Structure 1
Amino acid sequence: MDILLTVADYFIAGLQKPTLAFLLGGMLIAALGSRLTIPEPVYKFIVIVLLLKIGLQGGMEIRNANLAALLLPAFFAVLIGVLIVLLGKYTLAKLPGVKETDALATAGLFGAVSASTFAAAMLHLDDIGMEYEAWVSALYPFMDIPALILAIVLGRLASDRQQATAEATADKPQKSGRKPISIKEIIIDSLQGSALTALLLGLLIGLFAKPEPVYASFYEPVFRGFLSILMLIMGIEAWQRLSELRRVAHWYVVYAIAAPIVHGAIGFGLGYLAHHLTGFSAGGTVLLAVMAASSSDISGPPTLRAGIPKANPSSYIGSSTSIGTPIAIAVCIPLFTELAKVVF
């Protein structure tokens, strides 16, 4: 009962936090019919800057980390991203009225990591004084990139199967010269996309160079401001997608409500296992759980738009931004924080 009361208190307080406030503010003004828009080039610039910042931070943290202590949590982060996509493939994609490509894009978005949710969790732990490893943010790309690439590979394969089935049903002659799908080409194409390229570039620069001066003078100061604008944009789009979500399978709503808690529980369980094996901290376990519970708001949407163009954004962005992100921030952060206090 105490945990439920704490979660309820944090949910109310969370509505006032900048991350969720800008998201809900964007949804509110869209609901009221505002014509406020953020130009597409501005949106793309903000996304690239935020991804470079995340990559730089992750690379610098890996460079300065105890690699032996980092190894197991990093492996678990990869495993979580892969498991979430596979869970979506064998649950959401099997439900009536759900297209496989849409389900895989949705699972990919939920398997990837939300920078805003992760930042909110770190600020929450700082506020309550729960310690965590300095390198935990380096786990971000280990979960994010495998989830997105696996979702794109499976989504492209599913799209090709759907096209082949449609051609066979329509009695269209099969193209004898049709080139078979190459998983290697899909992976290379995904890694060459602007979002993952920026994230990987930042990671490599942070790992092999010394970008601390530009990181401290530019990327760190603008992060929260740019993130608030991104949340406003996502809020406006979330409202538009929410109205469209009503026209697709209602299973997306059920999935978006349950997924953050289920995925977060998987992350918490593996983090607790890492605690017993390597001494991974309670705060680190909470952050791993929150990463698993979150759904990507920066790298995911543009990567999946380009990677699985036939997937319906109303399904994966609508379920993620409109439902998944508020639940991850307002419910999962306090839930797993309180759980850590009980079991550690």
Structure 2
Amino acid sequence: MNEIIIQNLLSPVVLFFALGILAAMVKSDLKFPTALSETLSIYLLMAIGIKGGIELSHYSLSTVAKPILGTLFLGTSIPIIALFILRFLKMDLRNAIGLAATYGSVSIVTYGAAISFLGESGTKYEGFMNVLVVLLESPAIFVSLLLMKLFEKKEGHSLVFSQNIGLAAGNSSVISGLIDKEVMKESLFGKSVLLLLGSLVIGWIVGEDAVPAVKPLFMDLYQSVLIVFLLNMGVIAGQRLPEVKKHGWKILLFGIFMPVLCGTLGVFVGDYVGLSLGGTALMGVLAGSASYIAAPAALRTSVPEANPSIYLGLSLGVTFPFNLIFGIPLYFTIAQMIR
């Protein structure tokens, strides 16, 4: 395990991320233009999606059915686990819901770094794993909102807390209260889900015929673009760390304990549904990561009372670097041990 961690620590992906954190800590004037940061994000989403679609064209529906069910299980169970832990830690309902949605969803960049890690170690994985990334983006958001409504009813709170979320008092059903256009839009048609799913479908339709057109940009340059993107993420993560410290040591421990717990659960689920060593490790990465794109975008609309410095600061300032440095090798090692 130590060798795997050292190998990961000395990879260009992690070292440039560390350089970004250092730049933030010493208050360097290093920063990326917003437009460039957005462009890099779009590139990574498209690259992962289209490569996954091409690989998906090689598989039948019966092959991917069990992994899809395992992914949906993780997407619904992780928010429940997170909320239970956070309520035990006496966190208020709104911020607990924000963290539950964030940790139930997925970090596409952590997933990209894990693919890079597997590539360097020569470990193969199922191409349809990119489909599972898309599937894990949205369920946690809906489950978290459902849990919030159930908790509010139990505690006798008013069901009307935000016009944006579309909840109504009275005899309306629990599910109907969650059907809000803005929440649906952010969860299903936000940038990350739309680009991932759209690129994946395009790659699946075209199949191997797409390789000559996409290989020079989306395959050959992927690793280099990921390094540039993670330098930028390092700067952002370093800037978020002081915000997390304000909320005490318990929340910091949650940002480390939660990915280990859920990542381990993801590894066991991956093994149970019959994934390969690489696929099982990636399932652990998916379960152990925390979103800082799709979930926060939905939360700004549906739970405006939740503090972004908590759910964004923790996912980006603590869990993301932890997974990048220690989590990915840990999930890979656990996957090796149980196979």
Same fold (TM over 0.5): yes
From the superposition, tell whether residues 126 and 197 of structure 1 become closer, same or farther in structure 2 (CA, over 3 Å): closer
- Corresponding residue for 1:3? none
- Corresponding residue for 1:171? none
Q: Are 1:112 and 1:143, in contact at CA under 8 Å, matched by a contact in 2?
A: yes
Shift of 1:299: 4.5
1:289 aligns with 2:284: yes
- Corresponding residue for 2:260? 261
Q: Which moved more, 1:236-245 or 1:185-194?
A: 185-194
- Corresponding residue for 1:83? 77
Shift of 1:304: 4.6
Q: Are 2:103 and 2:290, in contact at CA under 8 Å, matched by a contact in 1?
A: yes
Matched AA of 1:189: K
Percentage identity across aligned positions? Answer: 27
Q: Are 2:82 and 2:258, in contact at CA under 8 Å, matched by a contact in 1?
A: no
From the superposition, tell whether residues 315 and 341 of structure 1 become closer, same or farther in structure 2 (CA, over 3 Å): same
Structure 2 length normalisation: TM-score?
0.81
From the superposition, tell whether residues 53 and 123 of structure 1 become closer, same or farther in structure 2 (CA, over 3 Å): closer
Q: Give the SS at the match of 1:103.
A: helix
Shift of 1:202: 1.9
Deviation sequence 1:249-284 (CA, Å, 0-9, x none):
433211111011100111111122223xxxx32222
Partners of 2:145 and 2:50 lie apart in 1 by 25
Equivalent position to 2:197, from 179, 190, 200: 200
Q: Are 1:195 and 1:303, in contact at CA under 8 Å, matched by a contact in 2?
A: no
- Corresponding residue for 1:226? 225
Q: Give the SS at the match of 1:64.
A: coil
Partners of 1:86 and 1:25 lie apart in 2 by 36
- Corresponding residue for 2:173? none
From the superposition, tell whether residues 100 and 61 of structure 1 become closer, same or farther in structure 2 (CA, over 3 Å): farther
Partners of 1:158 and 1:223 lie apart in 2 by 44
Q: Are 1:108 and 1:151, in contact at CA under 8 Å, matched by a contact in 2?
A: yes
1:244 aligns with 2:226: no
- Corresponding residue for 2:9? 15
Partners of 2:319 and 2:334 lie apart in 1 by 20
Partners of 2:276 and 2:146 lie apart in 1 by 34
Please list, as runs of the form range in 1=range in 2, the aligned pairs for 1:1-344 lying within 5 A after superposition.
6=1, 8-96=2-90, 98-151=91-144, 180=168, 182-186=177-181, 187-190=183-186, 191-209=188-206, 211-275=210-274, 280-296=275-291, 299-302=294-297, 304-305=299-300, 308-344=303-339
Partners of 1:179 and 1:166 lie apart in 2 by 6
Q: Are 2:48 and 2:112, in contact at CA under 8 Å, matched by a contact in 1?
A: no
Shift of 1:45: 2.3
From the superposition, tell whether residues 137 and 192 of structure 1 become closer, same or farther in structure 2 (CA, over 3 Å): closer
Matched AA of 1:71: A
Q: Give the SS at the match of 2:180.
A: helix
Q: Are 1:79 and 1:143, in contact at CA under 8 Å, matched by a contact in 2?
A: no
Q: Are 1:105 and 1:152, in contact at CA under 8 Å, matched by a contact in 2?
A: no
Deviation sequence 1:218-242 (CA, Å, 0-9, x none):
2234433333333223222222221
Q: Give the SS at the match of 2:21.
A: helix
Partners of 1:124 and 1:184 lie apart in 2 by 39
Shift of 1:29: 0.6
Shift of 1:155: 6.8
Partners of 1:215 and 1:249 lie apart in 2 by 47
Partners of 2:12 and 2:311 lie apart in 1 by 24
Q: List alignment gaps of at least 5 residues for structure 1.
A: 1-5, 169-173
Partners of 1:300 and 1:57 lie apart in 2 by 24
Shift of 1:323: 1.9
Deviation sequence 1:306-330 (CA, Å, 0-9, x none):
6544432221222122221232233
From the superposition, tell whether residues 221 and 127 of structure 1 become closer, same or farther in structure 2 (CA, over 3 Å): closer
Matched AA of 2:193: L
From the superposition, tell whether residues 255 and 288 of structure 1 become closer, same or farther in structure 2 (CA, over 3 Å): same
Matched AA of 2:34: E
Partners of 1:53 and 1:308 lie apart in 2 by 31
